[in-house]
Amino acid sequence: MTEPANLDRLEERLGYRFNDRSLLQEALTHASAGDANNERLEFLGDAVINLVVTEALFRNLPLHDEGKLTELKGVLVSRNTLKRVAESLGIAEYIHTGSGLPSGSELPPSVAGNALEALLGAIYLDCPDDTRLHRARHLALRWLQPEIDQLQHHWGRTRAKQELQIWCQRELGVLPVYEVTNTRDREAEDRFTVQVRIGEEVFTSAAAPNKKDAEHAAAWLAIEGLRASGRIVE
């Protein structure tokens, strides 16, 4: 088992001190290590993180419909996302496994993500009844914040062309036109500059390493401009 000093360091990374260390130990014990493992805590933690993420998206993105919220939630609670969060917290080195599995950095990616859910379940149980959901929410969102920031940026940019086209067809009966206004040499960081034209109106240009990304960025800027002028109201 991991020594207390090491668990102190893990608790610092998590931002939480356990009242019942046995819950922490259980959350870090993979099924391959024996009967007292983290699968039940993982089951609880999965429910908690789904609730926390769902509530956060609902409160913070009031203009998004159910389909968009579902898509965003699916990304944030996916195995890949939880694996990255677990890696950022350094959880893998504390997980106890049986002889059939490697340990530390050699663990299968899903094991650390599952342990992250188990840790959240353990924290939920360790807290007093009147504070457990508040505490679990605070910690889960803190752990996930880098992923949330990256997702909001990526999601908005990659879907901007589709959103702009739908709006143009519905409101104006035209399609947006993307025009390359400048091309720099291959070594340039922002090689392509693209502007969007909607009818006779030209919007702010955007630059990116390739034409596709420049078009996405230009569409996103056009949408922001239309929102600022009150023409897109969600």
Terminal-to-terminal C-alpha distance of the chain:
53
Residue ending a domain, among 100, 132, 158, is 158
In the block, tokens 């879907």 appear at 159
Are residues 135 and 178 located together in one domain of the fold?
no
Domain presence at residue 233: no
Residue ending a domain, among 129, 158, 187, is 158
Q: Which amino acid is at 39?
A: E
117 catalytically annotated: yes
- Dist CA 234 CA 227 (whole Å): 9
Are residues 120 and 43 located together in one domain of the fold?
yes
Q: What does the pLDDT look like over 31-49, one tens digit per residue?
A: 988 778 999 999 999 999 9
Are residues 174 and 148 located together in one domain of the fold?
no
CATH number of the domain at 129, please. Answer: 1.10.1520.10
Are residues 154 and 164 located together in one domain of the fold?
no
Are residues 180 and 105 located together in one domain of the fold?
no
Q: What does the pLDDT look like over 201-227, one tens digit per residue?
A: 999 888 888 888 889 888 888 887 888
Residue 124 has pLDDT above 70, yes or no: yes
Are residues 140 and 164 located together in one domain of the fold?
no
Domain presence at residue 36: yes
- Dist CA 6 CA 13 (whole Å): 11
Residue 3 has pLDDT above 60, yes or no: no
100 or 170: which leads in pLDDT: 170
Are residues 84 and 60 located together in one domain of the fold?
yes
Domain presence at residue 234: no
Q: Which of 26, 117, 126, 147 is catalytic?
A: 117
pTM: 0.68
Domain that holds residue 87: 4-158
Are residues 56 and 99 located together in one domain of the fold?
yes
pLDDT for the residue 188: 63
pLDDT band at 184 (very low <50, low <70, confident <90, very high): confident
**HEC string for 116-165:** HHHHHHHHHHHCCCCCHHHHHHHHHHHHHHHHHHHHHHHHHHHCHHHHHH
Q: Which of 11, 46, 71, 163 is catalytic?
A: 46
Are residues 150 and 167 located together in one domain of the fold?
no
163 catalytically annotated: no
Domain count for the chain = 2
Quick one: tokens of 214?
């420049």
pLDDT band at 4 (very low <50, low <70, confident <90, very high): very low
Are residues 89 and 175 located together in one domain of the fold?
no
Are residues 193 and 113 located together in one domain of the fold?
no
**Average pLDDT over all residues of the chain:** 87
Are residues 79 and 133 located together in one domain of the fold?
yes
CATH number of the domain at 194, please. Answer: 3.30.160.20
pLDDT for the residue 217: 83
